[in-house]
């Protein structure tokens, strides 16, 4: 219901919207004020088998250009409450017999999507991982390899290429049992195959310690001031020739910042658990950073005398 000017009544009257015909009708004289108008409101109809099901979904998923049929194939669903007799019916038998060439790809894409969701990755990384897997699969050379490690390696490479790197240990935590060694081998295999396909080396993107800093600090519950100091410190550390992996440097910087913080200091074990870096590696990285702490740690966060009072390695 609403108000509109009626030319017959010569005044504002209440109107009724006939959504099925697209007409706007005066409620007093019945004059059609507007016909065949487009209803721009949401269409929340349900096409579920049961009336009690209020699922408003009325369309399928988006098209997928990586699949032969674009992801728009029709699947005959099993009726609600149906038993195993469904597969003995004509429709069930024909669907069961039909060979879908994309079945393996669909299962792989679902696995990648699950891993991406568990790591909180954006859709662009998931799509890049799907594309990498499709390119490797098209070469028909991955048969017999560990599928879980292969999918995890695709996700690892996608994170690197999208400048949102994750550690191998983080990828391993969602890789359905694949080990770090298996993922590492799968990564080398994929890089080699993609290099053969394009005839040039595959760009993986450069890893910086700062890429992991905010996430590691968040895992430890550090406050904003400490996080900012850690980010500045890790940027300054790149000016020195510290021959450690970026992840190890990030962990060592966090250890230094937390020792200087006035809040409750996490233990070395806590930092190791949050960063995935072994305690011994953090200690050795701290030894390499210690001679440069006066230049690395921001002066607004810690005074020179506080830095001199740090425990020597």
d(CA 156, CA 214): 19
User: In this structure, what token pair is assigned to residue 240?
Assistant: 């020195």
Residue, of 49 and 21, whose pLDDT is higher? 21
Q: Name residue, tokens 């004509």.
A: 90
Which pLDDT belongs to residue 18?
79
The whole-number average pLDDT for the span 302-313 is 76
Residue, of 56 and 120, whose pLDDT is higher? 120
Q: Are 88 and 95 in contact (CB under 8 A)?
A: no
Least confident of 55-59, 106-110, 116-120: 55-59
pLDDT tops 60 at residue 301: yes
Residue, of 286 and 88, whose pLDDT is higher? 286
d(CA 168, CA 186): 12
Segment holding 67, helix H or strand E:
none
Q: Are 43 and 18 in contact (CB under 8 A)?
A: no
User: In this structure, what token pair is assigned to residue 211?
Assistant: 């890429």
279-290 pLDDT tens trace: 999 999 999 999
Which pLDDT belongs to residue 278?
92
Which pLDDT belongs to residue 281?
94
Which pLDDT belongs to residue 247?
93
189-238 pLDDT tens trace: 999 888 887 777 777 878 888 889 989 999 899 999 999 999 999 999 98
User: In this structure, what token pair is assigned to residue 55?
Assistant: 């699922």
133-144 pLDDT tens trace: 998 888 877 777
Q: Are 161 and 155 in contact (CB under 8 A)?
A: no
Per-chain mean pLDDT for the chain: 82
User: In this structure, what token pair is assigned to residue 13?
Assistant: 């009257």
SS3 assignment, position 55? coil
| Range ranked top by mean pLDDT from 41-55, 168-182, 197-211 | 168-182
User: In this structure, what token pair is assigned to residue 123?
Assistant: 């859709």
**CA 83-99-131 angle, 5° bins:** 110
Name the percent of the chain lying above pLDDT 90. Answer: 37
Least confident of 40-44, 130-134, 192-196, 305-309: 40-44
Task: Point out which residues pair with 2 in neighbouring strands.
Answer: 15
The whole-number average pLDDT for the span 43-68 is 59
pLDDT tops 60 at residue 54: no
Q: Are 167 and 156 in contact (CB under 8 A)?
A: no
Q: How many CB atoms lie within 10 A of CB 114?
A: 14
pLDDT tops 60 at residue 267: yes
Q: How many CB atoms lie within 10 A of CB 62?
A: 8
Least confident of 112-116, 151-155, 174-178: 174-178
Nearest to 205 by CA among 157, 275, 133: 157
DSSP 137: H
The whole-number average pLDDT for the span 59-71 is 64
Residue, of 47 and 231, whose pLDDT is higher? 231
């Amino acid at each position: 219901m609403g108000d509109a000017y009626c030319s017959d009544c010569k005044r504002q009257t209440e109107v009724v919207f006939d959504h099925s015909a697209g007409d706007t009708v005066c409620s007093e004289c019945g004059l059609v004020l507007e016909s065949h108008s487009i209803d721009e409101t949401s269409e929340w109809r349900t096409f579920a088998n049961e009336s009690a099901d209020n699922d408003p979904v009325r369309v399928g998923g988006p098209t997928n250009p990586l699949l032969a049929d674009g992801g728009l194939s029709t699947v005959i669903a099993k009726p609600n409450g149906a038993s195993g007799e469904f597969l003995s019916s004509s429709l069930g038998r024909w669907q069961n017999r039909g060979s879908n060439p994309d079945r393996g790809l669909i299962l792989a894409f679902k696995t990648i999507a699950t891993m991406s969701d568990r790591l909180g990755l954006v859709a662009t990384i998931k799509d890049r991982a799907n594309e990498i897997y499709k390119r490797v699969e098209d070469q028909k050379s991955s048969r017999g390899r560990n599928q879980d490690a292969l999918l995890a390696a695709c996700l690892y490479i996608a994170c690197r290429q999208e400048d949102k790197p994750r550690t191998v240990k983080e990828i391993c935590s969602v890789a359905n049992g694949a080990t770090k060694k298996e993922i590492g081998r799968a990564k080398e295999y994929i890089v080699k195959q993609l290099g053969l396909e394009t005839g040039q080396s595959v760009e993986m993107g450069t890893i910086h310690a700062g890429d992991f800093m905010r996430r590691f600090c968040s895992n430890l519950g550090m406050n904003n001031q400490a996080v900012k100091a850690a980010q500045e410190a890790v940027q300054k550390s790149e000016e020195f020739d510290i021959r450690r992996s970026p992840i190890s440097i990030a962990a060592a910087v966090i250890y230094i910042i937390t020792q200087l913080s006035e809040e409750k200091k996490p233990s070395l074990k806590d930092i190791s658990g949050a960063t995935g870096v072994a305690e011994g590696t953090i200690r050795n990285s701290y030894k390499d950073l210690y001679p440069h702490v006066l230049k690395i740690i921001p002066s607004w966060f810690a005074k020179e005398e506080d830095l001199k009072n740090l425990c020597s390695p």
